[in-house]
Structure formats: C-alpha cells, structure tokens
Amino acid sequence: MSELTEPTAGDSGTWNRLLNALAEIVAAIDDNLAAGRSVPALLLLYAGIDLLAWLEAPGDQTELRGSDFKSWCLRYLLPESGLECNANELWAARCALLHNVAAEARELRKAGTRSIRYATSTDRPDAAASDSPADGVTVAIPTLREAFRRAVTRYCEAFDRPDVPAAREAALLRRAAQVLDGRPHT
C-alpha cells in the first residue's frame, strides 16, 4: 500500500494514520498466514472489512450493518478477485467466525447462500471440499487475503481523489479518527 499518496484535501494526519493502520492489518494477516494461523488471519481480515465498511456507511449511522459489509464487498473486494463466493456468503462466514455458528445458519437460510469452507492453499482448494457439504463453496485463504489487499488499495484510491465530496471526506475522516483514537462511535 506504499504506492498510495497523500490525500488531496482534508486531514492528512488522520488519513496517514488510517493508511498505517490498514498496512498493519494486512501485515498482521500475512504474519499469521506465514505462521500457519489461519483463524486469526481470517478474524483480522473480516475485522478489516468491517472497519472499512463502517467508514463507508451513511453519516448518521452508528453501527455496522450487514448491508454495509455486503456493499463494501461488492464494490471493492469481489470485482476481479477470483473468489467464487458472493457478498451474502462472506457475510455469513464473517458472522460465523466472529460470533458463532448460529449466525451463519441464520444467513444460510437465505436463498442462494452457500457455506464457505476454507482451503489454506491455492494449490489444492478442492481438499477442503471433501470435508464439507455439497452446497458450500471453497475459498482459498491466500486468494481471499490477496483480494482484501487489493480491495484496501482500491478503497484508498477511490477516496484519495479531488472529486470526492467534502461531506463524504469529512465523515470518513471523523470516523477514522474515532476508531484510531479508540473513541466510541457516535
């Protein structure tokens, strides 16, 4: 993400802190994957999506909604990702991993939502398929990680443009400062 530039306007200190925090999240994901710790890597990845989706949410909203997460995935994560899952399936997987299996079951009851099973390698993603129900989709964790890295870059590039409305920029920077300073969402 070092290829990203200074923001065109607004609070460059908050923008730079946000870029650093995102780079740290990606590095922590990579460190966990390199050490064979898939679950912590996935937790960080889904928390990163949560953060960015919340920054993108309407200004009067005080908490992340599933629709925010899914919209962010549709706009930034899934295009050209090589992932065979959809935003509903990612939301169900996120809920299952961050909360409990019951959350995944609730989401899976929706028509067309398959369960996600993870493969730790892109070389043999079909190995995970043999242990899971036929109505699931296999996601290679390295592919998901790369999709997230590209989505973070895409998101930052979309925000870092002179034609971004001032109100959107101000709302994003205000929320980013809240998160980075550890203040409650208001």
Q: Is the pTM of this model over 0.85?
A: no
Look at residue 129 and tell me if it is in a domain. Answer: no
Domain that includes residue 159, residue range: 12-104+146-181
> Is residue 31 situated within a structural domain?
yes
Residue 35 domain flag: yes
Q: How far apart are the first and last CA of the chain?
A: 29
Higher-confidence residue of 2 and 65: namely 65
What's the number of domains the chain is made of?
Answer: 1
Q: Say if residues 115 and 133 touch (Cβ distance below 8 Å).
A: yes
Q: Which of 173, 175, 150 is closest to 76 using CA atoms?
A: 150
Instruction: Flag whether 160 is in a domain.
Output: yes
112-119 LR contacts (CB < 8 Å, sep 24+): 112/86, 112/88, 113/86, 113/88, 113/89, 114/85, 114/89, 115/89, 116/85, 116/89, 116/90, 116/92, 118/38, 118/42
Residue 37, in any domain of the structure: yes
Whether 116 maps to a domain, the answer reads no
Residue 125 belongs to some domain of the structure: no
Give tens-digit pLDDT for 1-23: 444 444 444 557 888 888 899 99
Q: Is residue 109 part of a domain?
A: no
pLDDT digits (tens, 9 = 90+) for 95-118: 888 887 555 556 666 667 888 999
